[in-house]
Amino acid sequence: MNAGSAVEGKVALITGASRGIGLAVARSLAGLGAKVALCARDPQKLEAAAAGLKRAGASVAAIPADIRNANEIASLVRETGQSLGPIEILINNAGIGYFAPVQEASEANWDSVLDTNLKAVFLLSKAVAPGMIERREGHIVNIGSLAGKSAFAGGAIYCASKWGLLGLTQCMAEDLRAFGIRVSAVLPGTVATDFSPHTGKDTSKMLQPEDVAHAVESIVTQAPQSFISEVLIRPAQKP
């Protein structure tokens, strides 16, 4: 089985897909023949991303949604199904960061990060899982971070969200594997995107969005008798 045949014609929903890692993943899966649904909160950026993929010949739907909201998630899943078909691959990529000492953080900071980085993954996975269970196949890939394994000053809220995401991923994998659904986590180090400032660092030595996309591609093209549960990605040289 070649890599393309494993996902060709399948429907992949990618969150945070208007730029950075999410857009790189969408390009990669579309290049393998998948039909891609792009989700983000900014309609203009989303349409621009979708236009670029369409010019490359991809089958694309652009659906703006706030995935912290269960009602918007229900609409997102329904619209994806109507536009492209049932969701067979879910890439939970959307995320935000907050970096400051814990004593300076507010409850609003906590809610914003945890709702986006963790609650949204739970809600969207829960919305997509019943269809995957019915078809007895599917991939859910959660884009985490090495911050889900390593503590650092100023990272309390962000690390909490990513440690929680890793635990959620592992438990989801156990809950769903009997139904042929493979749940995986990709944990990159710092990626050269506009997600966080890179003052004083050599971005050419950092991970690139395409590095993460390559890991996702490897996961979703595994032979059906196995699955890659977790991928840790580090730059070859420290930036």
Catalytic residue among 49, 94, 158, 160: 158
Catalytic-residue membership of 98:
no
What are the structure tokens assigned to 90, written together?
């879910």
Number of DSSP helices (H) and strands (E) in the chain, helices first: 8, 7
Contact 7, 91 (CB under 8 A): no
CB under 8 Å to 59, separation ≥6 — which residues?
Answer: 30, 35, 36, 84
Contact 142, 118 (CB under 8 A): no
Round to whole Å and give the CA distance between 111 and 165. 15
Round to whole Å and give the CA distance between 66 and 70. 9
Q: Which helix (H) or strand (E) element contains residue 89? A: strand 89-92
Residue written as token pair 């592992």: 170
Give catalytic residues, as residue numbers: 158
